[in-house]
Amino acid sequence: SYTTDTKSREENKKTLENLYSLSVDITKIRRLKEWVLLQDVAYVKEIAGILQEMGADETTVANIIERCPEAILHTPAEINSQRALWQLVCQNEKQMIKLIEQFPESFFTTEYQQNQKANILFFQELGLKNNIITRFLTSAPSIFYNPVEKNKNVIETLQRNYLNLGGSEANMKIWILKLLSQNPFILLNTSTAIQDNLEFLRKNEFTDQEVLQLLSKLKGFIFQLNSTTMQKSMLFSKNIFKCSDQELKQLVLKCPALLYYSVPVLEERLEGLLKEGISIAQIRETPMVLELTTQIVQYRIKKLSALGYDIKSGNLESLNGTKKDFEVTYGKIQSKKERPIFNPVAPLHIED
């Protein structure tokens, strides 16, 4: 509803004056979204007033407006409705202001208020905790723009498939909530896409139990894939590792990234490992190493080499895992290296 034609228009003087009075850096707005300053109507004082009422100080108000200038184009009524919505899940207004400062665009998207409210209530009924819902509101706001029926439909498809694959009624709720909290974007898929991907795995002779295992391991990412890309990735892995269908299946269960990443990504990561002198046989033994970017692999190899650890002749397990996992492994190798040489005369201290 706002015009973005900036050629023949002048900045709104009243808007500029009000922004100056709030110590807002107008050059930032000009650089970011100059069209906001050209609108005939803006609610600078009113929006600042609502934010201050909620506990925001002058610096915070200026920061919010600089980061999301279109905030001042919303009517006070729209913002108060949004405030009431977020109150359904925020502990208090202090927490809300903190979130608005971090994610202003999420708060100032007010076009879908009815859908947002219906979805918040649906998620609460489903059993999602308010702190998870606030995380969704800020980091995955688009899932609230869907009509609630669409989100319900996706959840029902997931529940039905979970039970069909042999999952138990008792564990279903926990499974769904875990899947959602790990990857809320599964709600942006259609029920048909979910069904197609599960069919693809069955056709590739994954048992129901294995499909269930994959769904949990992939944290819902499988629903964002399609059978064509999965087929290409599996074929690529089969050719690289020179393995049978059964062996490939075991590799995929060990490392779902072989299913999830596209061929160009797998190619690039494989190339990075081979350049470091790592063999295909080593990668086949520990395929999880393909979950790491080339930069991470290079950094970890460099750190281990500095300790005298030769990755070419060793096990790739030491490269694997999260940053925290790697630090633990690195620490163990380091302390082993620094351990004093055994003295046969010294008394024994048996710890292990």
At 79-135, the pLDDT tens digits run 999 999 999 999 999 999 999 999 999 999 989 999 999 999 999 999 999 999 999
Which two structure tokens, joined as six digits, stand for 138?
Answer: 């800020």
CB 74, CB 107: distance < 8 Å: no
- Cα separation, 106 vs 139, in Å, equals 8
Which pLDDT value is given to residue 341?
A: 53
pLDDT value at residue 339? 62
Highest mean pLDDT among 208-222, 290-304, 331-345: 290-304
Provide mean pLDDT across the span 137-166: 93
Q: Give the residue-averaged pLDDT of 320-334.
A: 86
Question: Which position has the token pair 């990857």?
Answer: 183
| DSSP per position, 292-323 | S-HHHHHHHHHHHHHTT--TTTS-GGGG-S-H
Please state the φ and ψ torsions of residue 162, each to the nearest 5 degrees. -60, -45
pLDDT one-digit tens code per residue, 236-283 = 999 999 999 999 999 999 998 898 899 999 999 999 999 988 999 999
Cβ atoms < 10 Å from Cβ of 305: 13
> How many Cβ atoms are within 10 Å of 332's Cβ, its own excluded?
11
> Which tokens go with 232?
């290409």
- CA dist., res. 6 & res. 2, Å (int): 11
Task: Find the angle CA(75)-CA(51)-CA(135) to the nearest 5 degrees.
Answer: 95
Gap between the Cα atoms of 86 and 130, Å rounded: 10
Quick one: pLDDT at residue 24? 94
Torsion of CA 152, 155, 156, 161, to 10 degrees: 160
Q: Is the pLDDT of residue 190 over 60?
A: yes
Nearest to 298 by CA among 262, 268, 324: 268
pLDDT, position 316 = 85
pTM for this entry: 0.77
Residue listed under structure tokens 């002048």: 10
* Of residues 186, 178, 117, 184, the one with CA closest to residue 148: 117
Q: What is the pLDDT of residue 347?
A: 52
Q: What are the angstrom distances between the C-alpha of 149 and each of 36, 115, 259, 312?
A: 35, 10, 30, 54
At residue 312 the predicted structure's pLDDT band, cuts being 50, 70 and 90, is: confident
- Mean confidence (pLDDT) of the chain: 89
Amino acid 309 reads Y
